[in-house]
């Protein structure tokens, strides 16, 4: 490290000046000790430095953290064995493209690595988004911090910053009971809803409505149907302001969790890519947010025909028809 080199050069210059001004064996002995100190340190540290670089280290980070929580980034030995490291320095470069934020995090550690070494940082979770964390190289120094060996890491991690739920003023109605019509049930099977039609070749005799067939003097069957529900679509308004986006997503995740708890069927809409995704679990909310953070469209999309759109705006909420 440059700081350690400058400090050593300053101490060396001071010792040299002292030996010139105070001509005695002690001053010259002190000067020789200071000159030899880096060489002795390197000789003692080099085996541990080589061992650290040879055995290798691996980095890791949190998979998911909540907004404003501490994000943990760490390093550990690859084989899990204890390793003496004189002094380790790793610089992580982080990017939250959704919030347009970049930061550098430096991990420093010296001593025995017998368990994961972790640094906690709350600056990386100040805004929602996906934090891309990378570190290509690290450095292991000798005890004086002057000489070093590079360590190849090739680390690429990602941490999802989830919003903290916040209740909006206007909650959407549970519209899962609004039925627009019926359609044949794929694969048939049992259904409380069915339509009556004439028998077709290949229909199961179990589906024959015998009482009605005897009345009309022709075979009638009960074809299983399923209801077509009016779609409820939740649409968060995303802007270029990360603080505003945090506020919008806090209400979005509250609404989604509340609808899941009530058993409602609903969808989420990314206004930028036009992706409409069915949300059926908390994991589905997380996956939708990840696609929203990265600005990538999902593979499966739904039509907005006959849909009620619940818009979460920066200034409030409103409902519109698709």
CB 29 within 8 A of CB 37: no
Has residue 229 got a pLDDT over 80?
A: no
The β-bridge partners of 150 are 139
Domain ranges for the chain:
1-162, 180-228, 230-321
The single residue listed with the structure tokens 């550990």 is 76
Pairing of strands 64-66, 148-162: parallel
The β-bridge partners of 38 are none
Give the pLDDT band of residue 167 (cuts 50, 70, 90).
Answer: very high
pTM: 0.76
Give the pLDDT band of residue 193 (cuts 50, 70, 90).
Answer: low
**For residue range 125-134, what is the model confidence (pLDDT) as tens digits?**
999 999 999 9
The single residue listed with the structure tokens 């980095």 is 59
Q: Which of 44, 302, 319, 275 is nearest to 173 (CA)?
A: 319
Confidence at residue 302, expressed as pLDDT on a 0 to 100 scale: 61
At 171, which helix (H) or strand (E)? none
Cα angle 93-94-99, degrees, rounded to a multiple of 5? 150
Has residue 30 got a pLDDT over 70?
A: yes
3-state secondary structure of 295: coil
221: tokens are 């069957």
Give the pLDDT band of residue 100 (cuts 50, 70, 90).
Answer: very high
Confidence at residue 177, expressed as pLDDT on a 0 to 100 scale: 46
CB 310 within 8 A of CB 235: yes
Q: Which of 220, 221, 223, 222 is nearest to 185 (CA)?
A: 223
- Please indicate whether residue 188 or residue 61 has the higher confidence score (pLDDT): 61
Cβ contacts of residue 29 below 8 Å, gap of 6+? none
Domain 1-162 superfamily per CATH: Immunoglobulins (2.60.40.10)
The single residue listed with the structure tokens 């990360």 is 242
Confidence at residue 53, expressed as pLDDT on a 0 to 100 scale: 85
């Amino acid at each position: 490290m440059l700081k350690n080199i400058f400090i050593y050069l300053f101490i060396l210059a001071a010792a040299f000046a002292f030996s010139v001004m105070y001509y005695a064996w002690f001053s010259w002995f002190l000067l020789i000790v200071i000159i030899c100190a880096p060489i002795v340190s390197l000789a003692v540290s080099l085996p541990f430095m080589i061992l650290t670089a040879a055995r290798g280290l691996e980095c890791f980070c949190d998979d998911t953290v909540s907004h404003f929580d501490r994000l943990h980034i760490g390093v550990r030995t690859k084989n899990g064995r204890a390793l003496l490291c004189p002094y380790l320095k790793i610089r992580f470069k982080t990017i939250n493209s959704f919030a347009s934020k970049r930061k550098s995090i430096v991990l420093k550690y010296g001593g025995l690595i017998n368990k994961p070494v972790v640094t906690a940082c709350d600056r990386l979770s100040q805004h929602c988004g996906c934090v891309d964390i990378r570190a290509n190289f690290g450095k292991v120094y000798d005890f004086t911090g002057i000489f070093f060996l590079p360590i190849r890491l090739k680390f690429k991690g990602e941490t999802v910053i989830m919003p903290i739920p916040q209740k909006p003023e206007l909650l959407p109605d549970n519209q899962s009971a609004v039925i627009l019509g019926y359609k044949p049930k794929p694969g048939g099977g049992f259904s409380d809803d069915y339509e009556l039609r004439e028998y077709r070749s290949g229909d199961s005799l179990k589906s024959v409505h015998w009482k009605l067939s005897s009345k009309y003097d022709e075979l009638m069957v009960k074809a299983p149907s399923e209801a077509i529900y009016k779609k409820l679509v939740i649409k968060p308004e995303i802007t270029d302001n990360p603080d505003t986006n945090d506020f919008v997503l806090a209400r979005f995740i509250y609404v989604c969790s509340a609808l899941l708890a009530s058993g409602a069927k609903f969808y989420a809409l990314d206004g930028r890519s036009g992706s409409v995704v069915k949300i059926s679990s908390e994991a589905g909310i997380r996956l939708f947010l990840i696609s929203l953070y990265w600005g990538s469209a999902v593979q499966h999309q739904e039509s907005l025909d006959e849909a009620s759109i619940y818009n979460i705006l920066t200034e409030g909420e409103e409902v519109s028809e698709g």
